[in-house]
Structure 1
């Protein structure tokens, strides 16, 4: 396992919710990342954001880690949930909130 992979593995296993994204939660650098941030903010979940643009090894490493070719990528309790389209669909159906709740992740009321 590379240093980047070890870093990624540690992040997803030690944080309830992690979003690998382009930019930061405060300043998304692409529309897809911004959409996922808005959804997570709307459901009221605290999450760790990781700016893949800051480190090429992390940017490629997360794609290898998940075997998923695109960014953003959302993880809940160490489990890969998906990218923007999947998160958006789960949000629209109510499934995202249920997954978070079932995982024991605290949501703002």
Structure 2
């Protein structure tokens, strides 16, 4: 399976997917840690994370998949939502909480 197909399978198999540096328990960058905290505060119970530091093909592939240059990247119900800044804005406006409950 090629990397793009693998990424598509991951994001369609789980309602909330965060491609991040490190894990939810041990984020390896501040932006990834912020993203996990925002998702937890938004009421996400089943967060599926993908540690891009463990797989160079996924790390590069996810940037191409969404045409988005940075990590973390959030997907909800197969849709690309954005990175840490967008998640922060959406959380502050209450939009993210609505999305994860839907």
Q: TM-score under structure 1 normalisation?
A: 0.89
Deviates more, 1:64-73 or 1:93-102: 93-102
How many residues are paired up? 101
Which whole-Å CA distance do the structure 1 matches of 2:56 and 2:81 have between them?
Answer: 22
Which whole-Å CA distance do the structure 1 matches of 2:3 and 2:97 have between them?
Answer: 30
Deviates more, 1:29-38 or 1:3-12: 3-12
1:58-69 matched pairs, under 5 angstroms: 58-69=58-69
In the TM superposition, residue 68 of structure 1 has moved relative to its aligned partner by 0.3
In the TM superposition, residue 101 of structure 1 has moved relative to its aligned partner by 2.3
Q: TM-score under structure 2 normalisation?
A: 0.95
Alignment correspondent of 1:48: 48
SS in structure 2 at match of 1:48:
strand
* Unaligned residue ranges in structure 2 (runs of 5+): none
SS in structure 1 at match of 2:26:
coil
* Unaligned residue ranges in structure 1 (runs of 5+): 103-109
Q: Give the ranges of 4+ consecutive aligned residues of structure 1 lying more than 3 Å apart after TM superposition.
A: none
Alignment correspondent of 2:8: 9
Question: For 1:29-72, what per-residue CA distance to the aligned partner results, in whole angstroms no more than 9, with x for missing partners?
Answer: 00000000001111221210000000100000000000000000
